[in-house]
Amino acid sequence: MSERGGDLDVTAAGLKDDAPHLLLVDDDRRIRELLARFVAKDGYRVTLASNADEAKSHLKHFAFDLIVLDAMMPGQNGFDFATELRRSSDVPILMLTARADADDRVRGFEAGADDYLTKPYEPRELLLRIASILRRSVPRVAKTDQPMVHFGDFSFQVDRGELRQDDTLVRITERERDILAVLAAARGETVSRETLAGSAGPANERTIDVQINRLRRKIEADPAEPVHLQTVRGVGYRLVVNS
């Protein structure tokens, strides 16, 4: 660790070459440094930013595996930064906030966050959330006999987690990729909200609707009248695949 630019810089010394690289964005220097030390001890590379502008500068030079983002910061807040970032990147985002009301949680997921953690929190819970997001971000083969699932003019390559419209790659977040993989594996059968929430638990189950709506905006001509990703009222959702 060294001092650089008036802030703590957590280097990669002693870490494996393939250690996940995290970007921690928080305007409180004390919190940044405490979090950096804590997650670095768990084997993560860490880069720090005090605001959205610093984070954008880092993103020009590094490829991060996860962004831990404070929601309330001076200048551009975390919600607006996440919304802007989602126009060009699907890097996973774990949003942190001192406000626990449902509207803020929904706002975070609408902005493209993959998970949401309210302050104060146990540091161990933060590590578990980080590990969970990183596990989801690794493309995996869903339980389906078909490596490629087609719906309309879209195709989803299950083993690589790639969504395409004809030959054009469609940018999706890690959480959207995870949801698509589960729906694709079901081959048109209904999948419950609980199943789609996965290991994130009941709090995430209540935000599945928000994440589904974000995904619909990318694959439906009219998200209000979905053709491919349909709601099964009171149960969950199903992906209508081509026969």
Largest CA distance in the chain: 60
Name the DSSP letter for residue 212.
H
The pLDDT of residue 210 is 82
Name the DSSP letter for residue 171.
P
List Cβ neighbours of 226 (8 Å cut-off, separation of 6 or more). 216, 220
The pLDDT of residue 17 is 56
- Can you give the C-alpha Rg of the chain in angstroms? 18
DSSP 3-state of 38: helix
**Distance between CA atoms of 15 and 95, rounded to whole angstroms?**
25
Token pair recorded at residue 111: 């902005």
As a CATH number, domain 2-137 is 3.40.50.2300
Domain ranges of the chain: 2-137, 148-239
The pLDDT of residue 67 is 96
Give the neighbor-by-neighbor strand order of the sheet with 229-232: 191-192, 236-239, 229-232
Residue type, 156: F
Count other Cβ atoms within 10 Å, centred on residue 10: 22
Asked if residues 50 and 27 have their Cβ atoms less than 8 Å apart, the reply is yes
93, containing H or E segment: strand 93-97
Token pair recorded at residue 116: 């949401």
**Distance between CA atoms of 166 and 169, rounded to whole angstroms?**
8
The pLDDT of residue 15 is 54
The mean pLDDT values, 10 residues at a time, for the chain of 243 residues are 41 60 93 89 92 94 91 93 90 86 80 87 89 72 62 89 90 84 88 74 65 91 94 91 84
As a CATH number, domain 148-239 is 1.10.10.10
The pLDDT of residue 221 is 94
The pLDDT of residue 105 is 79
Residue type, 214: R
